[in-house]
């Protein structure tokens, strides 16, 4: 693998930012003398950050990573001059209200009328709160998720003490409905986890069909929309768009996890959990003799498992949504660019001699591989192509799939394919150059 390294001009920019930022770091004074040790530390950091992949660059389409929106970045830094804590209204009197407003906008985007919800450290923590509630409501019943779901669900069930069962996925990477129906009919399932935008392929589980099955069998439904949730803005039948049906069923979910730090243009540390029934707040009931005394209003910490939470994260999200609202013309514009890039890349790859795509992308993740007869040959080609692309300045990712998913002879347990996450609108302009790079390999 090539050494990750930022282009020199980006490292130079980090060095300039170091001097600009440190002078702004106090609310008690403007600038002033900066001790040499502070400058030295920041310039040393700029050098060390050079050993990153260039996440901002159009040629980076590896993991689910991109820098936050400038408004999010500035708002975060601004709020950080106070460093509010959204555990209680004492610690974050302003930012707790900003959090409530921003979370309300996300709930409305997903179609919830009423809701209980808050920001979390991550999608993992959002899912944890959902499955904690699931176990509290049905302590003796299983939580089931598909083999396509994020690996974290099985582990979270261990943490919250819930019994977890995995169901198979279909060859195109969605939760297998026939297997789900059979499992529900056998009884003992408390909660089904569906994924709206799987981490591997960006696949949309048929949430509408899963909601029907849950309703028929009296199971709760949790939707892990950590990656795909914001694509609700494109689920309106327009172009570029996404399949509206699974999104239209979201109001039927008992809980939804969504990650503003993935497609909501936020810095890390910003997940979100939403419950349809505000009554689940009763499960969180506790007292905190240290913190809940300045207000009779509900403190955020009274309906959250985490105590200290970043008020700056709430400020950043709130300001971003004010500048880039949750509409097709607002944040939808960013998602549309990403979605259009993925559709265009998949279309080009399908027509490219010697290459095949892994199914048709539902969102903005495209996976592809060389046309080879066996799993091991597909993997060997992907490893070599990955290295050659990296050497040419292209940052993609790898994904291991079941050989059955790509219809090759299973002479190995898995086949490695290439994976591109086209989550930046600038990726649209990269489709032809990437195809040319693949043709030149
Ligand atoms: C990213 C992701 C998670 C985990 O979220 P983090 O914010 O990384 O903790 C869970 N589920 C899905 C579908 C994801 O894409």
d(CA 229, ligand 1 centre) in Å? 11
Nearest to 362 by CA among 210, 227, 256: 227
Q: How far is the CA of 264 from the centre of ligand 1 (A)?
A: 13
Pocket test for ligand 1, best of 262, 263, 268 (most atoms within 8 A of CB): 262
**CATH code of the domain occupying 80-323:** 3.40.640.10
415-421 and 397-401 strand pairing: antiparallel
Residue with tokens 């692309």: 389
Task: Confirm or reject: Cβ of 203 under 6 Å from ligand 1.
Answer: no
Residue 2: what pLDDT?
Answer: 43
CB distance 224 to ligand 1 below 6 Å: yes
Among candidates 192, 253, 264, which has minimal Cα distance to 227?
Answer: 264
What pLDDT does 292 receive?
Answer: 72
- Pick out the chain residues at pLDDT < 70: 1-3, 291, 293-295
Nearest alpha-carbon partner for 333 in 204, 410, 238, 409 = 238
Q: Is the CB of 120 under 6 A from ligand 1?
A: no
Query: How far, in Å, is the centroid of ligand 1 from the Cα of 180?
Result: 22
- The domain 331-439 is placed in CATH, from the list 3.10.450.50, 1.20.1730.10, 3.90.1150.10, 3.90.226.10, at 3.90.1150.10
Based on the number of CB atoms within 10 Å of its own CB, is 405 exposed (0-12), middle (13-18) or buried (19 or more)?
buried
3-state secondary structure of 441: coil
Per-residue pLDDT tens digits for 145-156? 999 999 999 999
**What pairing do the DSSP bridges indicate for beta strands 142-146 and 116-120?**
unpaired
> What global pTM score does this model have?
0.97
Determine which helix (DSSP H) or strand (DSSP E) holds 221, and give its type and residue range: strand 220-225
- Residues 6 or more apart whose Cβ sits within 8 Å of residue 92: 84, 85, 86, 99, 300, 311, 314
Contact 229 CB / ligand 1 (< 6 Å) = no
Q: What pLDDT sits at residue 87? A: 94
* CB distance 79 to 316 below 8 Å: yes
Is the CB–ligand 1 distance for residue 226 below 6 Å? yes
pLDDT (0 to 100) of residue 3: 65
Q: How far is the CA of 197 from the centre of ligand 1 (A)?
A: 10
For residue range 3-42, list pLDDT tens digits in order: 678 999 999 999 999 999 999 999 999 988 899 999 999 9
Q: Would you list the domain boundaries of the chain? A: 80-323, 331-439
Q: Which helix (H) or strand (E) holds 190?
A: strand 189-195
What span, in angstroms and rounded, lies between the C-alpha atoms of 150 and 173? 12
Say if CB 374 and CB 388 are below 8 A apart: no
Residue 312's nearest CA partner among 71, 69, 28, 77 is: 77
């Amino acid at each position: 693998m090539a050494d990750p390294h930022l282009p020199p001009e980006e490292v130079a920019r980090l060095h300039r930012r170091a001097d600009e930022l440190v002078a702004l770091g106090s609310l008690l004074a403007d600038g002033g003398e900066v001790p040499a040790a502070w400058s030295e530390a920041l310039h040393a950091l700029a050098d060390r950050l050079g050993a990153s992949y260039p996440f901002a660059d159009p040629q980076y389409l590896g993991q689910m990573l991109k820098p936050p929106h400038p408004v999010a970045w500035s708002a975060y830094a601004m709020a950080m001059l106070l460093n509010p804590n959204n555990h209680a209204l004492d610690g974050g009197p302003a930012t707790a209200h900003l959090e409530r407003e921003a979370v309300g906008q996300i709930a409305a985007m997903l179609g919830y009328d009423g809701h209980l919800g808050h920001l979390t450290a991550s999608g993992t923590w959002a899912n944890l709160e959902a499955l904690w509630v699931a176990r509290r409501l049905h302590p003796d019943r299983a939580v089931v998720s598909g083999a396509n779901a994020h690996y974290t669900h099985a582990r979270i069930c261990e943490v919250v003490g819930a019994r977890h069962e995995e169901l198979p996925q279909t060859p195109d990477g969605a939760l297998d409905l026939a297997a789900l129906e059979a499992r529900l009919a056998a009884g003992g399932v408390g909660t089904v986890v569906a994924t709206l935008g799987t981490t591997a392929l960006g696949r949309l589980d048929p949430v509408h069909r899963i909601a029907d099955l849950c309703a028929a069998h009296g199971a709760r439904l949790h939707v892990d929309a950590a990656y795909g949730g914001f694509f609700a803005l494109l689920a309106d039948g327009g172009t570029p768009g996404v399949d509206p049906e699974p999104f239209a069923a979201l109001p039927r979910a008992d809980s939804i996890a969504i990650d503003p730090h993935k497609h909501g243009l936020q810095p890390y540390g910003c997940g979100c959990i939403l419950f349809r029934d505000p009554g689940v707040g009763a499960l969180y009931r506790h007292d905190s003799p240290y913190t809940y005394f300045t207000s009779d209003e509900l403190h955020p910490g009274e309906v959250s498992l985490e105590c200290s939470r970043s008020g700056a994260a709430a400020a950043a999200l709130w300001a971003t949504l004010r500048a880039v609202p949750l509409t097709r013309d607002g944040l939808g514009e960013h998602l549309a660019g990403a979605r259009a890039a993925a559709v265009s890349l998949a279309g080009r790859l399908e027509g490219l001699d010697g290459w095949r795509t892994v199914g048709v992308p539902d969102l903005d993740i495209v996976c592809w591989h060389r046309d080879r007869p066996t799993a091991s040959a597909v993997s060997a080609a992907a490893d070599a192509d990955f290295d050659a692309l990296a050497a040419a300045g292209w940052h993609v990712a790898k994904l291991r799939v079941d050989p059955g998913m790509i219809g090759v002879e299973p002479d190995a347990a898995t086949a490695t394919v290439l994976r591109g996450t086209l989550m930046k609108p600038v990726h649209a302009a990269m489709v032809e150059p990437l195809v040319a790079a693949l043709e030149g390999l």
